[in-house]
Structure 1
Amino acid sequence: MRLPVYLYGHPVLRKSCSDIAPDREGLKELIENMYATMYDSEGVGLAGPQIGLAERIVVIDADPVKDSFPECEGRRFTLINPEVEVLDGDTVTRAEGCLSLPGLSENVPRVEHIRLRWVDENFQPHEEEISGFLARIVQHECDHLEGKLYIDHISMIRRQLIKSKLNGILTGRVRCDYPAKYVPRKK
Protein backbone atom coordinates (compact mmCIF):
# COMPACT_ATOMS: atom_id res chain seq x y z
CA MET A 1 0.00 0.00 0.00
CA ARG A 2 1.26 3.45 -0.90
CA LEU A 3 1.56 5.78 2.05
CA PRO A 4 1.51 9.57 1.90
CA VAL A 5 4.91 11.27 2.22
CA TYR A 6 5.00 13.90 4.97
CA LEU A 7 6.23 17.20 3.61
CA TYR A 8 8.40 19.95 5.01
CA GLY A 9 6.91 21.61 8.08
CA HIS A 10 5.39 18.52 9.66
CA PRO A 11 6.62 18.22 13.26
CA VAL A 12 7.43 14.49 12.86
CA LEU A 13 10.22 15.41 10.43
CA ARG A 14 12.01 17.21 13.28
CA LYS A 15 11.67 14.49 15.92
CA SER A 16 14.45 12.22 17.11
CA CYS A 17 13.18 8.69 16.48
CA SER A 18 12.80 5.76 18.86
CA ASP A 19 14.38 2.34 18.35
CA ILE A 20 12.22 -0.45 16.95
CA ALA A 21 11.81 -3.57 19.08
CA PRO A 22 11.87 -7.06 17.55
CA ASP A 23 8.23 -7.60 18.58
CA ARG A 24 6.95 -4.48 16.80
CA GLU A 25 3.55 -5.32 15.45
CA GLY A 26 3.07 -5.07 11.68
CA LEU A 27 6.78 -4.62 10.87
CA LYS A 28 6.72 -6.79 7.72
CA GLU A 29 3.73 -4.91 6.31
CA LEU A 30 5.31 -1.56 7.22
CA ILE A 31 8.49 -2.45 5.33
CA GLU A 32 6.49 -3.58 2.26
CA ASN A 33 4.49 -0.34 2.35
CA MET A 34 7.63 1.76 2.70
CA TYR A 35 9.20 0.14 -0.37
CA ALA A 36 5.97 0.57 -2.34
CA THR A 37 5.81 4.25 -1.33
CA MET A 38 9.48 4.83 -2.19
CA TYR A 39 9.14 3.20 -5.62
CA ASP A 40 5.87 5.02 -6.38
CA SER A 41 7.53 8.34 -5.45
CA GLU A 42 10.64 7.50 -7.52
CA GLY A 43 12.94 7.86 -4.52
CA VAL A 44 16.03 5.83 -3.63
CA GLY A 45 15.42 5.99 0.12
CA LEU A 46 12.65 6.57 2.63
CA ALA A 47 12.79 7.00 6.40
CA GLY A 48 10.13 6.46 9.07
CA PRO A 49 9.46 10.15 9.74
CA GLN A 50 8.69 10.67 6.05
CA ILE A 51 5.61 8.49 6.49
CA GLY A 52 4.70 9.98 9.86
CA LEU A 53 6.48 7.49 12.14
CA ALA A 54 9.08 8.62 14.68
CA GLU A 55 10.71 5.18 14.46
CA ARG A 56 14.27 4.23 13.43
CA ILE A 57 13.58 2.52 10.11
CA VAL A 58 14.90 3.24 6.60
CA VAL A 59 14.45 1.50 3.26
CA ILE A 60 16.95 2.05 0.45
CA ASP A 61 17.17 0.86 -3.13
CA ALA A 62 20.07 2.69 -4.74
CA ASP A 63 20.11 0.55 -7.91
CA PRO A 64 18.34 3.19 -10.05
CA VAL A 65 21.43 5.45 -9.85
CA LYS A 66 23.96 2.68 -10.61
CA ASP A 67 24.81 4.09 -14.06
CA SER A 68 26.25 7.22 -12.47
CA PHE A 69 27.39 5.61 -9.20
CA PRO A 70 28.52 1.97 -9.64
CA GLU A 71 28.75 1.41 -5.85
CA CYS A 72 24.94 1.64 -5.79
CA GLU A 73 24.36 -1.36 -8.06
CA GLY A 74 22.16 -3.98 -6.42
CA ARG A 75 22.10 -2.11 -3.11
CA ARG A 76 18.63 -2.67 -1.66
CA PHE A 77 18.31 -2.98 2.07
CA THR A 78 16.20 -2.29 5.12
CA LEU A 79 17.92 -0.52 8.00
CA ILE A 80 16.43 -0.88 11.45
CA ASN A 81 17.99 1.10 14.31
CA PRO A 82 20.95 2.18 12.13
CA GLU A 83 24.06 3.88 13.49
CA VAL A 84 26.45 5.85 11.26
CA GLU A 85 30.10 6.40 12.13
CA VAL A 86 32.14 8.85 10.08
CA LEU A 87 35.42 7.28 8.90
CA ASP A 88 36.78 10.11 6.80
CA GLY A 89 36.42 13.80 7.59
CA ASP A 90 36.88 15.01 4.00
CA THR A 91 33.64 16.15 2.43
CA VAL A 92 32.34 16.18 -1.12
CA THR A 93 29.52 18.51 -2.16
CA ARG A 94 26.80 17.09 -4.40
CA ALA A 95 23.20 17.88 -5.22
CA GLU A 96 20.56 16.26 -3.04
CA GLY A 97 16.81 16.21 -3.17
CA CYS A 98 14.22 14.78 -0.81
CA LEU A 99 10.71 13.44 -1.18
CA SER A 100 9.71 15.63 1.81
CA LEU A 101 10.99 18.73 0.00
CA PRO A 102 9.45 18.40 -3.49
CA GLY A 103 10.83 20.62 -6.20
CA LEU A 104 14.01 21.47 -4.29
CA SER A 105 17.59 20.39 -4.80
CA GLU A 106 20.64 21.84 -3.05
CA ASN A 107 24.36 21.14 -2.98
CA VAL A 108 25.15 19.45 0.32
CA PRO A 109 28.59 18.66 1.76
CA ARG A 110 28.90 15.14 3.21
CA VAL A 111 31.68 12.73 4.06
CA GLU A 112 32.29 9.98 1.53
CA HIS A 113 33.27 7.12 3.83
CA ILE A 114 31.21 5.76 6.75
CA ARG A 115 30.73 2.66 8.87
CA LEU A 116 27.11 1.56 9.12
CA ARG A 117 25.69 -0.71 11.80
CA TRP A 118 22.09 -1.91 11.67
CA VAL A 119 19.75 -4.82 12.06
CA ASP A 120 17.72 -6.09 9.13
CA GLU A 121 14.02 -7.00 9.02
CA ASN A 122 14.84 -10.30 10.78
CA PHE A 123 16.82 -8.40 13.46
CA GLN A 124 20.08 -9.89 12.26
CA PRO A 125 22.98 -7.49 12.96
CA HIS A 126 25.13 -6.08 10.14
CA GLU A 127 28.17 -3.84 9.92
CA GLU A 128 29.67 -2.47 6.72
CA GLU A 129 31.99 0.27 5.49
CA ILE A 130 30.26 2.26 2.77
CA SER A 131 31.72 4.86 0.41
CA GLY A 132 30.74 7.22 -2.35
CA PHE A 133 27.21 8.15 -3.28
CA LEU A 134 25.77 5.20 -1.35
CA ALA A 135 27.27 6.69 1.83
CA ARG A 136 25.48 9.95 0.96
CA ILE A 137 22.13 8.18 0.57
CA VAL A 138 22.57 6.40 3.91
CA GLN A 139 23.56 9.62 5.70
CA HIS A 140 20.63 11.52 4.16
CA GLU A 141 18.12 8.89 5.28
CA CYS A 142 19.66 8.42 8.73
CA ASP A 143 19.57 12.20 9.24
CA HIS A 144 15.76 11.92 9.08
CA LEU A 145 15.92 9.63 12.12
CA GLU A 146 17.61 12.44 14.08
CA GLY A 147 15.10 15.09 12.99
CA LYS A 148 17.42 16.61 10.38
CA LEU A 149 16.81 17.54 6.77
CA TYR A 150 19.44 18.10 4.09
CA ILE A 151 18.71 21.82 4.17
CA ASP A 152 20.20 21.86 7.68
CA HIS A 153 23.59 21.22 6.04
CA ILE A 154 23.50 24.20 3.69
CA SER A 155 24.58 27.76 4.46
CA MET A 156 22.27 30.34 6.03
CA ILE A 157 22.55 32.38 2.84
CA ARG A 158 21.31 29.44 0.72
CA ARG A 159 18.45 28.86 3.20
CA GLN A 160 17.42 32.48 2.84
CA LEU A 161 17.51 32.15 -0.94
CA ILE A 162 15.15 29.13 -0.90
CA LYS A 163 12.84 30.52 1.80
CA SER A 164 10.04 31.29 -0.66
CA LYS A 165 10.21 27.74 -2.02
CA LEU A 166 10.03 26.33 1.51
CA ASN A 167 7.04 28.58 2.20
CA GLY A 168 5.46 27.21 -0.95
CA ILE A 169 5.64 23.71 0.50
CA LEU A 170 4.32 24.92 3.88
CA THR A 171 1.32 26.62 2.30
CA GLY A 172 0.51 23.79 -0.11
CA ARG A 173 1.36 25.77 -3.25
CA VAL A 174 3.99 23.20 -4.24
CA ARG A 175 2.48 19.98 -5.53
CA CYS A 176 4.10 16.62 -6.12
CA ASP A 177 3.28 13.56 -8.22
CA TYR A 178 2.84 11.24 -5.23
CA PRO A 179 0.46 11.13 -2.27
CA ALA A 180 1.60 13.69 0.28
CA LYS A 181 0.67 15.01 3.72
CA TYR A 182 0.89 18.77 3.81
CA VAL A 183 1.20 20.71 7.05
CA PRO A 184 -2.23 21.10 8.61
CA ARG A 185 -3.55 24.62 8.23
CA LYS A 186 -4.25 26.60 11.37
CA LYS A 187 -7.84 27.65 11.80
Structure 2
Amino acid sequence: MIKPIVAYGAPILRKRCQPADVTSPELPLLLEDLWDTMRNANGVGLAAPQINIDARVFVVQADEWNVKQAFINPLITAYSEATWLDDEGCLSIPGIQAPVARAEHITISWLDETLEARTETWHGPVARMIQHEYDHIEGKLYTDRLAPLRKRLLHAHLERIRKGKAPCPYPLRYF
Protein backbone atom coordinates (compact mmCIF):
# COMPACT_ATOMS: atom_id res chain seq x y z
CA MET A 1 0.00 0.00 0.00
CA ILE A 2 1.24 3.49 -0.77
CA LYS A 3 1.94 5.42 2.42
CA PRO A 4 2.64 9.14 2.87
CA ILE A 5 6.34 9.87 3.18
CA VAL A 6 7.41 11.57 6.39
CA ALA A 7 8.64 15.11 5.66
CA TYR A 8 11.75 16.84 6.93
CA GLY A 9 11.26 17.92 10.54
CA ALA A 10 9.56 14.75 11.75
CA PRO A 11 11.13 13.39 14.96
CA ILE A 12 11.31 9.82 13.63
CA LEU A 13 13.82 10.95 10.98
CA ARG A 14 16.24 11.79 13.82
CA LYS A 15 15.80 8.55 15.77
CA ARG A 16 18.07 5.52 15.58
CA CYS A 17 15.62 2.77 14.67
CA GLN A 18 14.99 -0.40 16.62
CA PRO A 19 15.82 -3.79 15.10
CA ALA A 20 12.98 -5.20 13.04
CA ASP A 21 11.12 -8.14 14.55
CA VAL A 22 11.80 -10.83 11.96
CA THR A 23 9.07 -13.05 13.45
CA SER A 24 6.39 -10.42 12.95
CA PRO A 25 3.71 -11.30 10.40
CA GLU A 26 3.71 -7.58 9.54
CA LEU A 27 7.28 -7.59 8.15
CA PRO A 28 6.27 -8.72 4.62
CA LEU A 29 3.57 -6.00 4.62
CA LEU A 30 6.16 -3.40 5.64
CA LEU A 31 8.38 -4.44 2.75
CA GLU A 32 5.45 -4.27 0.34
CA ASP A 33 4.54 -0.79 1.63
CA LEU A 34 8.13 0.39 1.20
CA TRP A 35 8.31 -0.89 -2.39
CA ASP A 36 4.91 0.57 -3.32
CA THR A 37 5.60 3.94 -1.70
CA MET A 38 9.10 4.23 -3.20
CA ARG A 39 7.85 3.46 -6.72
CA ASN A 40 4.92 5.87 -6.37
CA ALA A 41 7.38 8.66 -5.52
CA ASN A 42 9.81 7.64 -8.30
CA GLY A 43 12.54 6.98 -5.74
CA VAL A 44 15.45 4.54 -5.77
CA GLY A 45 15.42 3.81 -2.05
CA LEU A 46 13.20 4.18 1.01
CA ALA A 47 13.67 3.41 4.70
CA ALA A 48 11.04 2.40 7.25
CA PRO A 49 11.28 5.64 9.26
CA GLN A 50 10.33 7.53 6.09
CA ILE A 51 6.88 5.95 6.37
CA ASN A 52 6.85 6.52 10.15
CA ILE A 53 7.89 2.99 11.14
CA ASP A 54 10.60 2.54 13.78
CA ALA A 55 12.42 -0.44 12.25
CA ARG A 56 15.85 -1.09 10.78
CA VAL A 57 14.57 -1.87 7.30
CA PHE A 58 15.08 -0.27 3.90
CA VAL A 59 14.77 -1.07 0.22
CA VAL A 60 16.88 -0.05 -2.76
CA GLN A 61 16.09 -0.47 -6.44
CA ALA A 62 18.37 0.60 -9.25
CA ASP A 63 17.28 -0.88 -12.57
CA GLU A 64 20.31 0.64 -14.29
CA TRP A 65 22.57 -1.60 -12.17
CA ASN A 66 20.14 -4.53 -11.98
CA VAL A 67 19.64 -4.13 -8.22
CA LYS A 68 16.46 -4.67 -6.25
CA GLN A 69 17.16 -5.47 -2.62
CA ALA A 70 15.48 -5.31 0.77
CA PHE A 71 17.75 -4.84 3.79
CA ILE A 72 16.49 -6.04 7.18
CA ASN A 73 18.54 -5.27 10.30
CA PRO A 74 21.60 -4.28 8.24
CA LEU A 75 25.04 -3.43 9.57
CA ILE A 76 27.70 -1.72 7.48
CA THR A 77 30.91 -3.45 8.53
CA ALA A 78 33.42 -1.61 6.32
CA TYR A 79 33.70 1.70 4.49
CA SER A 80 36.41 2.40 1.93
CA GLU A 81 38.81 5.19 2.74
CA ALA A 82 38.31 6.53 -0.76
CA THR A 83 35.27 8.79 -1.10
CA TRP A 84 33.53 10.57 -3.94
CA LEU A 85 31.29 13.59 -4.09
CA ASP A 86 27.96 13.44 -5.91
CA ASP A 87 24.55 15.08 -5.67
CA GLU A 88 21.95 13.43 -3.45
CA GLY A 89 18.30 14.05 -2.87
CA CYS A 90 15.78 12.52 -0.50
CA LEU A 91 12.07 11.75 -0.73
CA SER A 92 11.63 13.27 2.75
CA ILE A 93 13.28 16.48 1.53
CA PRO A 94 11.66 17.14 -1.87
CA GLY A 95 13.06 19.66 -4.31
CA ILE A 96 16.61 19.81 -2.94
CA GLN A 97 19.80 18.15 -4.09
CA ALA A 98 23.28 18.77 -2.77
CA PRO A 99 26.75 17.26 -3.11
CA VAL A 100 27.57 14.69 -0.44
CA ALA A 101 30.81 12.77 0.11
CA ARG A 102 30.32 9.01 0.51
CA ALA A 103 32.59 5.97 0.62
CA GLU A 104 33.28 4.52 -2.83
CA HIS A 105 32.48 1.05 -1.57
CA ILE A 106 31.03 -0.56 1.54
CA THR A 107 30.57 -4.02 2.99
CA ILE A 108 27.20 -4.67 4.60
CA SER A 109 25.59 -7.64 6.38
CA TRP A 110 21.80 -7.98 6.45
CA LEU A 111 18.82 -10.28 6.19
CA ASP A 112 17.07 -10.29 2.84
CA GLU A 113 13.31 -10.53 2.34
CA THR A 114 13.49 -14.35 2.75
CA LEU A 115 15.37 -13.77 6.05
CA GLU A 116 18.53 -15.25 4.59
CA ALA A 117 21.70 -13.76 6.10
CA ARG A 118 23.86 -12.04 3.51
CA THR A 119 27.10 -10.10 3.40
CA GLU A 120 28.20 -8.27 0.30
CA THR A 121 30.45 -5.46 -0.87
CA TRP A 122 28.77 -2.79 -2.98
CA HIS A 123 30.45 -0.16 -5.16
CA GLY A 124 29.71 3.20 -6.76
CA PRO A 125 26.16 4.55 -7.04
CA VAL A 126 24.56 1.50 -5.39
CA ALA A 127 26.92 1.82 -2.41
CA ARG A 128 25.89 5.50 -2.22
CA MET A 129 22.17 4.61 -2.20
CA ILE A 130 22.69 1.99 0.50
CA GLN A 131 24.67 4.44 2.66
CA HIS A 132 21.93 7.06 2.24
CA GLU A 133 19.18 4.64 3.35
CA TYR A 134 21.38 3.25 6.14
CA ASP A 135 21.77 6.80 7.46
CA HIS A 136 17.96 6.96 7.73
CA ILE A 137 17.80 4.00 10.10
CA GLU A 138 20.62 5.62 12.10
CA GLY A 139 18.61 8.85 12.49
CA LYS A 140 20.72 10.85 10.05
CA LEU A 141 19.87 12.83 6.93
CA TYR A 142 22.12 13.62 4.00
CA THR A 143 21.87 17.30 4.94
CA ASP A 144 23.85 16.45 8.09
CA ARG A 145 26.81 15.69 5.84
CA LEU A 146 26.79 19.06 4.06
CA ALA A 147 29.29 21.84 4.56
CA PRO A 148 28.07 24.57 6.96
CA LEU A 149 27.73 27.17 4.19
CA ARG A 150 25.63 24.80 2.05
CA LYS A 151 23.40 24.08 5.07
CA ARG A 152 22.83 27.81 5.62
CA LEU A 153 21.97 28.29 1.94
CA LEU A 154 19.36 25.50 2.15
CA HIS A 155 17.88 26.57 5.49
CA ALA A 156 14.93 28.56 4.09
CA HIS A 157 13.90 25.74 1.74
CA LEU A 158 14.19 23.16 4.53
CA GLU A 159 11.94 25.32 6.70
CA ARG A 160 9.34 25.51 3.91
CA ILE A 161 9.34 21.71 3.74
CA ARG A 162 9.07 21.39 7.52
CA LYS A 163 6.09 23.77 7.54
CA GLY A 164 4.36 21.98 4.64
CA LYS A 165 4.79 24.89 2.24
CA ALA A 166 6.98 23.23 -0.40
CA PRO A 167 5.38 21.58 -3.45
CA CYS A 168 5.66 17.81 -3.73
CA PRO A 169 4.21 15.43 -6.36
CA TYR A 170 3.63 12.58 -3.88
CA PRO A 171 1.89 12.45 -0.47
CA LEU A 172 3.91 13.84 2.45
CA ARG A 173 3.14 13.57 6.15
CA TYR A 174 4.05 16.56 8.31
CA PHE A 175 4.60 16.70 12.07
Regarding TM over 0.5, the answer is: yes
Partner of residue 55, structure 1: 55
**Superposed, which structure 2 residues align to 1:29-178 within 5 Å?**
29-63=29-63, 66=64, 73-178=65-170
Larger strand fraction of residues? 2
Shift of 1:86: 3.0
Kindly indicate whether the alpha-carbon contact (under 8 Å) linking 1:19 and 1:81 is maintained by their aligned counterparts in 2. Answer: yes
CA distance in 1, matches of 2:2, 2:88: 23
Q: What RMSD, in angstroms, separates the aligned Cα atoms of the two structures? A: 0.9
TM-score (norm 1): 0.91
CA distance in 2, matches of 1:151, 1:86: 22
CA distance in 2, matches of 1:18, 1:24: 14
What SS does the aligned partner of 1:93 have? strand
Q: Unpaired runs of 5+ in structure 1?
A: 67-72
What SS does the aligned partner of 2:133 have? helix
What SS does the aligned partner of 2:93 have? coil
What amino acid does structure 2 have at the position aligned with 1:23?
T
Kindly indicate whether the alpha-carbon contact (under 8 Å) linking 1:86 and 1:111 is maintained by their aligned counterparts in 2. Answer: no
Kindly indicate whether the alpha-carbon contact (under 8 Å) linking 2:21 and 2:27 is maintained by their aligned counterparts in 1. Answer: no
Kindly indicate whether the alpha-carbon contact (under 8 Å) linking 1:110 and 1:136 is maintained by their aligned counterparts in 2. Answer: yes
Any idea what the Cα deviations from partners look like across 1:79-120, whole Å, max 9, x if unmatched? 000111334111100000000000000000011111010001
Q: Give the 4+ runs in structure 1 shifted more than 4 A.
A: none
What amino acid does structure 2 have at the position aligned with 1:25?
P
